[in-house]
Amino acid sequence: MDVLGKIKELAKQRNISLAELERRTGLSSGSITKWGKSAPSVDKLAKIAEYFHVSTDYLLGRTDNPHMGMSEKQKELTIEEALKSVMSYNGKEVSENDREVLERIAKAYLDGKI
């Protein structure tokens, strides 16, 4: 699978469009689609890898292990990052306020305060 195919697969798993992925990573509109014909720059590929918490080697198809060569810190998905990926629940969009509440609940739970 090529780079664009891997990115589409990851975006589908997170239930986000390529346009949304571009917005979240600060890439210009339509730039990811162009990677079907030309290779992305290293910095742009790194932004996508960081967003999905996978290695650039995985995106490039050099390994099937999405975390090959990554440090433990790079593999961690923070609560904030996980909640940013939440688009909707039961067909309704999750508001920024709801994400903040969910973040506080998750942190309190993980800290053993609940």
Domain ranges of the chain: 3-72, 77-110
Band the pLDDT of 69: cuts 50, 70, 90.
low
The CATH class, in words, for 3-72 is: mainly alpha
State the Cα–Cα distance between residues 84 and 87, nearest whole angstrom: 8
Signed CA dihedral, 46, 14, 17, 11: sign only: positive
Band the pLDDT of 19: cuts 50, 70, 90.
very high
Q: Please choose, from the candidates 37, 66, 61, the residue with its C-alpha nearest in 3D space to the C-alpha of residue 49.
A: 66
- Token readout for 57 is 């080697």
pTM of the model: 0.61
Mean pLDDT computed over 16-20: 92
The predicted structure's pLDDT at residue 108: 80
- Token readout for 10 is 């990851």
* Each residue's pLDDT tens digit, 26-47: 999 999 999 989 889 999 999 9
Angle at 1 between CA 24 and CA 73, to 5 degrees: 50
